Chain A
Protein backbone atom coordinates (compact mmCIF):
# COMPACT_ATOMS: atom_id res chain seq x y z
CA UNK A 1 0.00 0.00 0.00
CA UNK A 2 1.45 3.44 -0.90
CA UNK A 3 2.17 5.55 2.12
CA UNK A 4 -0.52 8.17 1.55
CA UNK A 5 -3.24 5.53 1.28
CA UNK A 6 -1.94 3.92 4.44
CA UNK A 7 -1.97 7.31 6.13
CA UNK A 8 -5.54 7.93 4.99
CA UNK A 9 -6.55 4.55 6.35
CA UNK A 10 -4.88 5.33 9.66
CA UNK A 11 -6.63 8.70 9.71
CA UNK A 12 -9.98 6.90 9.60
CA UNK A 13 -8.90 4.48 12.32
CA UNK A 14 -7.57 7.42 14.29
CA UNK A 15 -10.80 9.38 14.11
CA UNK A 16 -12.78 6.40 15.41
CA UNK A 17 -10.40 5.81 18.30
CA UNK A 18 -10.05 9.54 18.89
CA UNK A 19 -13.79 10.02 19.25
CA UNK A 20 -13.65 7.52 22.12
CA UNK A 21 -10.81 9.46 23.74
CA UNK A 22 -12.89 12.59 23.27
CA UNK A 23 -15.88 11.05 25.06
CA UNK A 24 -13.71 10.13 28.03
CA UNK A 25 -11.83 13.43 27.94
CA UNK A 26 -15.11 15.34 28.22
CA UNK A 27 -15.67 13.89 31.69
CA UNK A 28 -12.18 14.85 32.81
CA UNK A 29 -12.52 18.36 31.53
CA UNK A 30 -16.03 19.02 32.87
CA UNK A 31 -15.11 17.82 36.34
CA UNK A 32 -11.89 19.81 36.23
CA UNK A 33 -13.75 22.90 35.07
CA UNK A 34 -16.11 22.75 37.99
CA UNK A 35 -14.04 21.55 40.96
CA UNK A 36 -10.46 21.77 39.65
CA UNK A 37 -9.92 18.06 40.25
CA UNK A 38 -8.25 15.57 37.93
CA UNK A 39 -10.56 12.66 38.57
CA UNK A 40 -8.12 9.80 38.09
CA UNK A 41 -10.87 7.27 38.72
CA UNK A 42 -12.60 8.42 35.54
CA UNK A 43 -10.90 5.77 33.38
CA UNK A 44 -12.25 3.13 35.72
CA UNK A 45 -15.76 4.41 35.36
CA UNK A 46 -15.25 3.85 31.65
CA UNK A 47 -14.20 0.27 32.50
CA UNK A 48 -17.26 -0.19 34.72
CA UNK A 49 -19.43 1.13 31.90
CA UNK A 50 -18.09 -1.58 29.62
CA UNK A 51 -18.92 -4.25 32.24
CA UNK A 52 -22.36 -2.81 32.91
CA UNK A 53 -22.97 -2.98 29.17
CA UNK A 54 -21.62 -6.53 29.05
CA UNK A 55 -24.02 -7.72 31.75
CA UNK A 56 -26.93 -5.74 30.36
CA UNK A 57 -26.49 -7.58 27.06
CA UNK A 58 -25.62 -11.06 28.36
CA UNK A 59 -27.75 -11.28 31.50
CA UNK A 60 -30.60 -8.85 30.92
CA UNK A 61 -30.66 -9.85 27.23
CA UNK A 62 -30.96 -6.25 26.14
CA UNK A 63 -30.04 -5.08 22.67
CA UNK A 64 -27.28 -2.57 22.16
CA UNK A 65 -29.08 0.75 22.56
CA UNK A 66 -31.05 -0.11 25.74
CA UNK A 67 -27.95 -1.79 27.17
CA UNK A 68 -25.98 1.36 26.53
CA UNK A 69 -28.62 3.49 28.25
CA UNK A 70 -28.72 1.18 31.28
CA UNK A 71 -24.94 1.20 31.50
CA UNK A 72 -24.80 4.98 31.19
CA UNK A 73 -27.37 5.39 33.98
CA UNK A 74 -25.54 2.94 36.25
CA UNK A 75 -22.18 4.62 35.59
CA UNK A 76 -23.74 8.03 36.27
CA UNK A 77 -24.84 6.73 39.64
CA UNK A 78 -21.35 5.40 40.39
CA UNK A 79 -19.87 8.76 39.43
CA UNK A 80 -22.28 10.63 41.68
CA UNK A 81 -21.58 8.29 44.60
CA UNK A 82 -17.83 8.56 44.04
CA UNK A 83 -18.03 12.33 44.36
CA UNK A 84 -20.40 12.13 47.31
CA UNK A 85 -18.39 9.63 49.33
CA UNK A 86 -14.78 10.27 48.35
CA UNK A 87 -14.44 13.84 47.10
CA UNK A 88 -17.09 15.96 48.79
CA UNK A 89 -15.75 15.53 52.34
CA UNK A 90 -12.40 16.83 51.04
CA UNK A 91 -13.85 19.86 49.26
CA UNK A 92 -11.98 22.32 51.48
CA UNK A 93 -8.83 20.22 51.84
CA UNK A 94 -5.67 20.72 49.84
CA UNK A 95 -5.82 19.68 46.19
CA UNK A 96 -3.13 17.04 46.64
CA UNK A 97 -5.33 15.27 49.22
CA UNK A 98 -8.19 14.99 46.72
CA UNK A 99 -5.82 13.93 43.95
CA UNK A 100 -4.42 11.10 46.05
CA UNK A 101 -7.97 10.09 46.95
CA UNK A 102 -8.79 9.95 43.24
CA UNK A 103 -5.85 7.64 42.59
CA UNK A 104 -6.96 5.52 45.53
CA UNK A 105 -10.50 5.38 44.18
CA UNK A 106 -9.11 4.28 40.82
CA UNK A 107 -7.24 1.37 42.41
CA UNK A 108 -10.29 0.48 44.47
CA UNK A 109 -12.45 0.28 41.34
CA UNK A 110 -9.90 -1.90 39.56
CA UNK A 111 -9.48 -4.33 42.45
CA UNK A 112 -13.19 -4.51 43.10
CA UNK A 113 -13.85 -5.15 39.41
CA UNK A 114 -11.26 -7.91 39.43
CA UNK A 115 -12.88 -9.46 42.48
CA UNK A 116 -16.43 -9.23 41.20
CA UNK A 117 -16.03 -9.71 37.45
CA UNK A 118 -12.88 -11.88 37.48
CA UNK A 119 -9.39 -10.99 36.34
CA UNK A 120 -9.52 -12.57 32.90
CA UNK A 121 -10.70 -11.03 29.68
CA UNK A 122 -14.33 -11.31 28.75
CA UNK A 123 -15.31 -11.44 25.10
CA UNK A 124 -17.71 -8.59 24.44
CA UNK A 125 -20.92 -9.77 22.77
CA UNK A 126 -21.16 -8.48 19.23
CA UNK A 127 -24.39 -6.65 18.71
CA UNK A 128 -23.78 -6.26 15.00
CA UNK A 129 -21.97 -8.52 12.53
CA UNK A 130 -18.62 -7.30 11.32
CA UNK A 131 -18.67 -5.56 7.94
CA UNK A 132 -16.16 -3.62 5.92
CA UNK A 133 -17.29 -0.73 3.79
CA UNK A 134 -14.98 0.08 0.92
CA UNK A 135 -14.38 3.78 0.31
CA UNK A 136 -12.17 3.96 -2.76
CA UNK A 137 -8.72 2.75 -1.75
CA UNK A 138 -9.50 2.69 1.97
CA UNK A 139 -12.17 1.04 4.05
CA UNK A 140 -14.15 1.74 7.16
CA UNK A 141 -15.78 -0.89 9.33
CA UNK A 142 -19.35 -0.70 10.49
CA UNK A 143 -18.05 -0.72 14.09
CA UNK A 144 -15.94 2.34 13.42
CA UNK A 145 -18.97 4.03 11.93
CA UNK A 146 -20.99 3.11 15.00
CA UNK A 147 -18.31 4.43 17.35
CA UNK A 148 -17.98 7.65 15.45
CA UNK A 149 -21.73 8.09 15.05
CA UNK A 150 -22.58 7.43 18.70
CA UNK A 151 -19.71 9.63 19.88
CA UNK A 152 -20.79 12.54 17.69
CA UNK A 153 -24.41 12.12 18.73
CA UNK A 154 -23.47 12.19 22.42
CA UNK A 155 -21.22 15.20 21.93
CA UNK A 156 -24.01 17.10 20.19
CA UNK A 157 -26.34 16.19 23.05
CA UNK A 158 -23.79 17.37 25.60
CA UNK A 159 -23.31 20.59 23.67
CA UNK A 160 -27.06 21.23 23.76
CA UNK A 161 -27.26 20.43 27.47
CA UNK A 162 -24.30 22.62 28.44
CA UNK A 163 -25.31 25.61 26.34
CA UNK A 164 -29.08 25.65 26.30
CA UNK A 165 -30.50 24.05 29.42
CA UNK A 166 -30.80 25.61 32.83
CA UNK A 167 -28.62 22.98 34.48
CA UNK A 168 -26.01 23.41 31.73
CA UNK A 169 -25.90 27.15 32.17
CA UNK A 170 -25.63 26.66 35.91
CA UNK A 171 -22.67 24.31 35.30
CA UNK A 172 -20.93 26.99 33.31
CA UNK A 173 -21.74 29.60 35.93
CA UNK A 174 -20.37 27.38 38.71
CA UNK A 175 -17.23 26.74 36.66
CA UNK A 176 -16.73 30.49 36.18
CA UNK A 177 -17.47 31.65 39.72
CA UNK A 178 -18.75 29.26 42.34
CA UNK A 179 -19.60 31.85 44.94
CA UNK A 180 -21.41 34.14 42.51
CA UNK A 181 -23.45 31.13 41.34
CA UNK A 182 -24.27 30.32 44.96
CA UNK A 183 -25.56 33.87 45.39
CA UNK A 184 -27.87 33.31 42.40
CA UNK A 185 -29.45 30.44 44.31
CA UNK A 186 -27.57 27.65 42.55
CA UNK A 187 -27.19 24.56 44.73
CA UNK A 188 -23.51 23.91 44.04
CA UNK A 189 -23.55 20.34 45.36
CA UNK A 190 -26.34 19.40 43.00
CA UNK A 191 -24.55 20.90 40.00
CA UNK A 192 -21.36 19.05 40.90
CA UNK A 193 -23.36 15.82 41.11
CA UNK A 194 -24.91 16.52 37.71
CA UNK A 195 -21.45 17.09 36.25
CA UNK A 196 -20.17 13.77 37.57
CA UNK A 197 -23.31 12.04 36.29
CA UNK A 198 -22.93 13.46 32.77
CA UNK A 199 -19.20 12.78 32.54
CA UNK A 200 -19.58 9.24 33.85
CA UNK A 201 -22.42 8.45 31.44
CA UNK A 202 -20.25 9.55 28.50
CA UNK A 203 -17.37 7.40 29.77
CA UNK A 204 -19.69 4.39 30.06
CA UNK A 205 -20.81 4.82 26.46
CA UNK A 206 -17.16 4.97 25.43
CA UNK A 207 -16.48 1.77 27.41
CA UNK A 208 -19.15 -0.14 25.53
CA UNK A 209 -18.01 1.20 22.16
CA UNK A 210 -14.42 0.14 22.85
CA UNK A 211 -15.56 -3.21 24.20
CA UNK A 212 -17.24 -3.84 20.89
CA UNK A 213 -14.34 -2.49 18.88
CA UNK A 214 -11.62 -4.59 20.49
CA UNK A 215 -13.99 -7.43 21.28
CA UNK A 216 -12.85 -7.84 24.85
CA UNK A 217 -13.00 -6.13 28.24
CA UNK A 218 -10.98 -6.52 31.42
CA UNK A 219 -10.72 -4.79 34.82
CA UNK A 220 -7.62 -2.84 33.81
CA UNK A 221 -8.85 -1.64 30.44
CA UNK A 222 -9.46 1.84 31.85
CA UNK A 223 -5.88 2.67 32.70
CA UNK A 224 -4.34 3.46 29.32
CA UNK A 225 -7.39 5.06 27.65
CA UNK A 226 -7.99 6.97 30.89
CA UNK A 227 -4.47 8.38 30.83
CA UNK A 228 -4.66 9.15 27.14
CA UNK A 229 -8.01 10.86 27.48
CA UNK A 230 -6.55 12.90 30.31
CA UNK A 231 -3.71 13.91 28.00
CA UNK A 232 -6.32 14.72 25.36
CA UNK A 233 -8.13 17.00 27.80
CA UNK A 234 -4.87 18.79 28.66
CA UNK A 235 -3.97 18.98 24.98
CA UNK A 236 -7.23 20.75 24.15
CA UNK A 237 -7.10 22.91 27.26
CA UNK A 238 -8.41 21.37 30.47
CA UNK A 239 -11.72 22.78 31.60
CA UNK A 240 -12.71 23.72 28.04
CA UNK A 241 -15.41 21.46 26.61
CA UNK A 242 -14.64 21.82 22.85
CA UNK A 243 -10.96 21.41 23.76
CA UNK A 244 -11.61 17.85 24.93
CA UNK A 245 -13.13 16.96 21.56
CA UNK A 246 -10.27 18.50 19.59
CA UNK A 247 -7.69 16.93 21.90
CA UNK A 248 -9.30 13.50 21.75
CA UNK A 249 -9.49 13.41 17.97
CA UNK A 250 -5.91 14.67 17.61
CA UNK A 251 -4.65 12.04 20.04
CA UNK A 252 -6.41 9.24 18.19
CA UNK A 253 -5.08 10.36 14.82
CA UNK A 254 -1.53 10.99 16.10
CA UNK A 255 -1.41 7.57 17.65
CA UNK A 256 -2.50 5.83 14.47
CA UNK A 257 -0.24 7.86 12.22
CA UNK A 258 2.74 6.79 14.29
CA UNK A 259 1.77 3.22 13.55
CA UNK A 260 1.99 4.01 9.83
CA UNK A 261 5.30 5.79 10.09
CA UNK A 262 7.13 3.68 12.59
CA UNK A 263 6.40 0.77 14.78
CA UNK A 264 3.23 0.09 16.70
CA UNK A 265 5.24 -0.28 19.89
CA UNK A 266 5.64 3.50 19.92
CA UNK A 267 1.88 3.91 19.97
CA UNK A 268 1.47 4.49 23.68
CA UNK A 269 4.57 6.64 23.89
CA UNK A 270 3.01 9.20 21.53
CA UNK A 271 0.40 10.26 24.04
CA UNK A 272 2.99 11.22 26.56
CA UNK A 273 5.34 12.79 24.04
CA UNK A 274 2.40 14.94 22.97
CA UNK A 275 1.71 15.87 26.59
CA UNK A 276 5.30 17.01 27.13
CA UNK A 277 5.39 19.06 23.94
CA UNK A 278 2.07 20.73 24.67
CA UNK A 279 3.03 21.58 28.23
CA UNK A 280 6.27 23.10 26.96
CA UNK A 281 4.77 25.33 24.30
CA UNK A 282 1.15 25.84 25.24
CA UNK A 283 0.74 25.19 28.94
CA UNK A 284 -2.94 26.13 28.75
CA UNK A 285 -3.70 23.76 25.88
CA UNK A 286 -4.58 24.35 22.25
CA UNK A 287 -7.86 26.15 22.93
CA UNK A 288 -6.76 27.49 26.31
CA UNK A 289 -6.68 31.18 26.99
CA UNK A 290 -3.51 32.82 28.10
CA UNK A 291 -3.48 33.55 31.78
CA UNK A 292 -4.85 37.06 31.46
CA UNK A 293 -7.98 38.01 33.30
CA UNK A 294 -9.86 41.26 33.18
CA UNK A 295 -10.27 42.67 36.64
Chain B
Protein backbone atom coordinates (compact mmCIF):
# COMPACT_ATOMS: atom_id res chain seq x y z
CA UNK B 1 0.00 0.00 0.00
CA UNK B 2 1.21 3.50 -0.79
CA UNK B 3 1.51 5.58 2.36
CA UNK B 4 2.71 8.77 0.73
CA UNK B 5 2.38 9.86 -2.86
CA UNK B 6 3.98 13.10 -3.97
CA UNK B 7 2.72 14.20 -7.36
CA UNK B 8 4.51 16.87 -9.40
CA UNK B 9 5.34 18.98 -6.39
CA UNK B 10 6.80 22.42 -7.20
CA UNK B 11 7.92 25.08 -4.78
CA UNK B 12 9.02 28.64 -5.45
CA UNK B 13 10.96 30.87 -3.10
CA UNK B 14 10.31 34.21 -4.74
CA UNK B 15 11.66 33.87 -8.26
CA UNK B 16 13.79 30.87 -7.42
CA UNK B 17 12.22 27.52 -8.11
CA UNK B 18 13.35 25.18 -5.36
CA UNK B 19 11.43 22.11 -6.48
CA UNK B 20 10.43 21.23 -10.02
CA UNK B 21 7.65 18.71 -10.47
CA UNK B 22 8.97 16.21 -8.01
CA UNK B 23 7.06 12.92 -7.86
CA UNK B 24 7.68 9.80 -5.80
CA UNK B 25 5.81 7.28 -3.71
CA UNK B 26 6.61 5.75 -0.33
CA UNK B 27 5.21 2.28 0.31
CA UNK B 28 4.11 0.99 3.67
CA UNK B 29 6.83 -0.47 5.85
CA UNK B 30 9.80 0.86 3.95
CA UNK B 31 12.57 3.34 4.54
CA UNK B 32 12.68 5.74 1.64
CA UNK B 33 15.66 8.05 1.38
CA UNK B 34 15.99 11.37 -0.38
CA UNK B 35 19.60 12.07 -1.25
CA UNK B 36 21.21 15.10 -2.73
CA UNK B 37 23.72 17.87 -2.23
CA UNK B 38 23.11 20.96 -0.12
CA UNK B 39 20.40 23.07 -1.68
CA UNK B 40 19.08 20.26 -3.87
CA UNK B 41 15.63 20.60 -2.30
CA UNK B 42 15.51 17.74 0.20
CA UNK B 43 14.40 19.77 3.19
CA UNK B 44 12.07 21.80 0.98
CA UNK B 45 10.39 18.56 -0.08
CA UNK B 46 9.76 17.54 3.53
CA UNK B 47 8.55 21.01 4.50
CA UNK B 48 6.17 21.07 1.56
CA UNK B 49 4.77 17.66 2.51
CA UNK B 50 4.12 18.68 6.10
CA UNK B 51 2.42 21.92 5.17
CA UNK B 52 5.09 24.34 6.35
CA UNK B 53 5.37 26.13 3.02
CA UNK B 54 2.49 28.37 2.09
CA UNK B 55 2.70 28.20 -1.68
CA UNK B 56 3.21 24.89 -3.37
CA UNK B 57 1.95 23.38 -6.58
CA UNK B 58 1.14 19.74 -7.10
CA UNK B 59 -0.40 17.21 -4.81
CA UNK B 60 0.50 15.28 -1.70
CA UNK B 61 -1.53 12.18 -0.88
CA UNK B 62 -1.21 10.55 2.51
CA UNK B 63 -2.87 7.14 2.81
CA UNK B 64 -4.84 8.02 -0.28
CA UNK B 65 -6.09 11.30 1.15
CA UNK B 66 -5.19 14.66 -0.37
CA UNK B 67 -3.39 16.57 2.38
CA UNK B 68 -2.07 19.42 0.22
CA UNK B 69 -4.30 22.00 1.88
CA UNK B 70 -4.51 20.50 5.38
CA UNK B 71 -2.81 22.81 7.93
CA UNK B 72 0.45 21.56 9.40
CA UNK B 73 -0.90 21.26 12.93
CA UNK B 74 -3.56 18.78 11.82
CA UNK B 75 -1.14 16.28 10.30
CA UNK B 76 0.23 14.54 13.42
CA UNK B 77 -3.31 13.47 14.30
CA UNK B 78 -3.58 11.83 10.87
CA UNK B 79 -0.36 9.90 11.48
CA UNK B 80 2.20 11.98 9.62
CA UNK B 81 4.98 13.34 11.79
CA UNK B 82 7.93 15.47 10.73
CA UNK B 83 11.12 15.45 12.82
CA UNK B 84 12.77 18.63 11.61
CA UNK B 85 16.34 19.40 10.70
CA UNK B 86 18.42 20.56 13.65
CA UNK B 87 16.27 18.53 16.10
CA UNK B 88 14.39 21.61 17.37
CA UNK B 89 13.78 20.19 20.83
CA UNK B 90 12.18 22.47 23.41
CA UNK B 91 15.08 23.50 25.62
CA UNK B 92 13.71 24.79 28.91
CA UNK B 93 11.21 21.94 29.08
CA UNK B 94 12.20 18.62 30.64
CA UNK B 95 12.91 15.58 28.52
CA UNK B 96 9.62 14.02 29.67
CA UNK B 97 7.63 17.16 28.83
CA UNK B 98 9.26 17.25 25.40
CA UNK B 99 8.11 13.69 24.79
CA UNK B 100 4.61 14.49 26.02
CA UNK B 101 4.46 17.45 23.63
CA UNK B 102 4.82 14.83 20.89
CA UNK B 103 1.53 13.34 22.07
CA UNK B 104 -0.13 16.75 22.22
CA UNK B 105 -3.01 15.93 19.91
CA UNK B 106 -3.83 12.64 21.65
CA UNK B 107 -6.32 12.10 24.43
CA UNK B 108 -5.88 8.39 25.15
CA UNK B 109 -3.98 8.51 28.43
CA UNK B 110 -3.43 4.75 28.44
CA UNK B 111 -1.94 4.74 24.94
CA UNK B 112 0.26 7.73 25.68
CA UNK B 113 1.66 6.02 28.77
CA UNK B 114 2.37 2.89 26.71
CA UNK B 115 4.13 4.83 24.00
CA UNK B 116 6.16 6.75 26.57
CA UNK B 117 7.29 3.39 27.92
CA UNK B 118 8.12 2.21 24.40
CA UNK B 119 10.20 5.31 23.74
CA UNK B 120 12.05 4.84 27.02
CA UNK B 121 12.66 1.18 26.10
CA UNK B 122 14.06 2.23 22.75
CA UNK B 123 16.15 5.07 24.21
CA UNK B 124 17.09 4.16 27.80
CA UNK B 125 19.24 7.28 28.00
CA UNK B 126 16.14 9.44 27.69
CA UNK B 127 14.63 7.58 30.63
CA UNK B 128 17.71 8.31 32.74
CA UNK B 129 17.47 11.97 31.86
CA UNK B 130 13.71 12.35 31.81
CA UNK B 131 13.66 15.05 34.49
CA UNK B 132 16.49 17.10 33.02
CA UNK B 133 16.19 20.22 30.93
CA UNK B 134 16.23 18.99 27.33
CA UNK B 135 18.67 21.78 26.49
CA UNK B 136 21.31 20.08 28.65
CA UNK B 137 21.40 16.94 26.49
CA UNK B 138 24.25 16.16 24.14
CA UNK B 139 23.70 16.36 20.39
CA UNK B 140 23.15 12.62 20.04
CA UNK B 141 20.70 12.56 22.94
CA UNK B 142 18.85 15.53 21.49
CA UNK B 143 18.45 13.61 18.24
CA UNK B 144 17.09 10.62 20.17
CA UNK B 145 14.71 12.99 21.93
CA UNK B 146 13.58 14.52 18.65
CA UNK B 147 12.87 11.05 17.21
CA UNK B 148 11.25 9.85 20.43
CA UNK B 149 9.06 12.94 20.49
CA UNK B 150 8.00 12.15 16.94
CA UNK B 151 7.17 8.56 17.91
CA UNK B 152 4.94 9.77 20.78
CA UNK B 153 2.45 10.72 18.13
CA UNK B 154 2.25 7.03 17.11
CA UNK B 155 2.88 7.96 13.47
CA UNK B 156 2.35 5.71 10.49
CA UNK B 157 4.83 7.82 8.55
CA UNK B 158 7.85 9.53 10.07
CA UNK B 159 9.71 12.21 8.12
CA UNK B 160 13.31 12.44 9.38
CA UNK B 161 15.35 15.40 8.23
CA UNK B 162 19.12 14.97 8.54
CA UNK B 163 19.10 12.93 11.75
CA UNK B 164 22.87 12.45 11.65
CA UNK B 165 23.76 16.10 11.12
CA UNK B 166 26.56 17.35 13.34
CA UNK B 167 27.03 14.09 15.23
CA UNK B 168 30.26 12.23 15.89
CA UNK B 169 30.73 9.21 13.59
CA UNK B 170 30.13 6.69 16.37
CA UNK B 171 26.82 8.36 17.18
CA UNK B 172 25.83 8.50 13.53
CA UNK B 173 26.00 4.72 13.38
CA UNK B 174 23.91 4.51 16.55
CA UNK B 175 21.27 6.85 15.15
CA UNK B 176 21.02 4.75 12.00
CA UNK B 177 20.58 1.64 14.12
CA UNK B 178 17.69 3.39 15.84
CA UNK B 179 16.16 4.33 12.51
CA UNK B 180 16.27 0.71 11.45
CA UNK B 181 14.79 -0.37 14.75
CA UNK B 182 11.94 2.16 14.52
CA UNK B 183 11.20 0.94 11.02
CA UNK B 184 11.22 -2.71 12.11
CA UNK B 185 8.71 -1.86 14.82
CA UNK B 186 6.35 -0.87 12.03
CA UNK B 187 6.81 2.80 11.16
CA UNK B 188 7.32 3.82 7.55
CA UNK B 189 10.14 6.33 7.22
CA UNK B 190 10.94 9.04 4.72
CA UNK B 191 14.54 9.97 5.38
CA UNK B 192 16.55 12.92 4.19
CA UNK B 193 20.30 12.43 4.55
CA UNK B 194 23.65 13.78 3.55
CA UNK B 195 25.34 10.60 4.65
CA UNK B 196 24.46 8.68 1.51
CA UNK B 197 26.56 5.69 2.41
CA UNK B 198 24.77 4.80 5.63
CA UNK B 199 21.39 5.94 4.37
CA UNK B 200 21.54 3.58 1.40
CA UNK B 201 22.53 0.75 3.70
CA UNK B 202 19.40 1.01 5.81
CA UNK B 203 16.85 2.06 3.21
CA UNK B 204 14.78 0.07 0.79
CA UNK B 205 14.31 2.73 -1.83
CA UNK B 206 15.98 6.01 -2.63
CA UNK B 207 15.87 8.91 -4.97
CA UNK B 208 18.42 11.57 -5.70
CA UNK B 209 17.51 15.22 -5.99
CA UNK B 210 19.60 17.58 -8.05
CA UNK B 211 18.72 21.29 -8.13
CA UNK B 212 15.09 20.61 -7.39
CA UNK B 213 14.55 17.71 -9.76
CA UNK B 214 14.66 13.99 -9.32
CA UNK B 215 17.81 12.82 -11.05
CA UNK B 216 17.59 9.16 -10.17
CA UNK B 217 15.19 6.86 -8.34
CA UNK B 218 15.04 3.19 -7.59
CA UNK B 219 15.79 0.57 -4.98
CA UNK B 220 18.53 1.52 -2.57
CA UNK B 221 20.70 -1.18 -4.09
CA UNK B 222 20.27 0.13 -7.64
CA UNK B 223 20.95 3.68 -6.56
CA UNK B 224 24.04 2.58 -4.64
CA UNK B 225 25.28 0.73 -7.70
CA UNK B 226 24.93 3.72 -9.99
CA UNK B 227 28.30 4.88 -11.27
CA UNK B 228 27.64 8.57 -10.93
CA UNK B 229 26.19 8.18 -7.44
CA UNK B 230 29.25 6.25 -6.41
CA UNK B 231 31.47 9.04 -7.63
CA UNK B 232 29.52 12.01 -6.36
CA UNK B 233 27.93 10.82 -3.13
CA UNK B 234 29.71 7.69 -2.02
CA UNK B 235 33.26 8.76 -2.75
CA UNK B 236 34.07 5.62 -4.76
CA UNK B 237 36.37 6.40 -7.67
Does B84 belong to the interface (CB within 8 Å)?
Answer: yes
* Of A172, A176, A177, most B-chain CB atoms within 10 Å: A176
- Which residues B73-90 have CB closer than 8 A to chain A? 73-77, 81-84, 88-90
State the CA gap A166–B77 with chains docked (Å). 16
- With A185-B77, A186-B104 already in contact, the answer to whether A176 and B82 are too (CB < 8 A) is no
Contact of A172 among B72, B92, B105, B135 (CB under 8 A): B92
Within the complex, what minimum Cβ distance (angstroms) separates A60 from chain B? 37
Cβ A186 vs Cβ B73 within 8 A: yes
Chain B positions within 8 Å of A184 at CB level: 76, 101-102, 104-105, 149, 153
Cβ A180 vs Cβ B93 within 8 A: no
Cβ A166 vs Cβ B104 within 8 A: yes
Q: Would you give 15 A-B contacts (Cβ < 8 Å), ordered by A?
A: A170-B101, A170-B104, A176-B91, A176-B93, A177-B88, A177-B90, A179-B84, A179-B88, A182-B52, A183-B52, A183-B82, A184-B76, A184-B101, A185-B104, A294-B135
Q: How many residues of B contact A (CB 8 A)?
A: 27
Contact of B101 among A179, A181, A188 (CB under 8 A): A181
Does A173 belong to the interface (CB within 8 Å)?
Answer: yes
State the CA gap A287–B90 with chains docked (Å). 19
State the CA gap A180–B84 with chains docked (Å). 8
Does B10 belong to the interface (CB within 8 Å)?
Answer: no
Does B97 belong to the interface (CB within 8 Å)?
Answer: yes
Cβ A185 vs Cβ B90 within 8 A: no
Cβ A185 vs Cβ B93 within 8 A: no
Chain A positions within 8 Å of B192 at CB level: none
State the CA gap A185–B74 with chains docked (Å). 6
Within the complex, what minimum Cβ distance (angstroms) separates A49 from chain B? 30
Query: What is A's interface to B at a CB cutoff of 8 Å?
Result: 166, 169-170, 172-173, 176-177, 179-188, 294
- With A180-B84, A186-B104 already in contact, the answer to whether A169 and B97 are too (CB < 8 A) is yes
Chain A positions within 8 Å of B135 at CB level: 294
Does B188 belong to the interface (CB within 8 Å)?
Answer: no
State the CA gap A180–B82 with chains docked (Å). 9
Within the complex, what minimum Cβ distance (angstroms) separates A181 from chain B? 7
Query: What is B's interface to A at a CB cutoff of 8 Å?
Result: 50, 52, 72-77, 81-84, 88-93, 97, 100-102, 104-105, 135, 149, 153
Chain B positions within 8 Å of A186 at CB level: 73, 101, 104
Q: Chain B: which residue is nearest A172 at the CB level?
A: B93
Cβ A180 vs Cβ B73 within 8 A: no
Chain A positions within 8 Å of B89 at CB level: 180
Cβ A169 vs Cβ B93 within 8 A: yes
State the CA gap A184–B76 with chains docked (Å). 7
State the CA gap A183–B155 with chains docked (Å). 12
Cβ A173 vs Cβ B90 within 8 A: yes
- With A183-B84, A184-B153 already in contact, the answer to whether A172 and B90 are too (CB < 8 A) is yes
State the CA gap A187–B149 with chains docked (Å). 17
Cβ A182 vs Cβ B88 within 8 A: no
- With A179-B52, A179-B84, A294-B135 already in contact, the answer to whether A185 and B91 are too (CB < 8 A) is no
State the CA gap A169–B103 with chains docked (Å). 12
State the CA gap A188–B51 with chains docked (Å). 14
Cβ B76 vs Cβ A185 within 8 A: yes
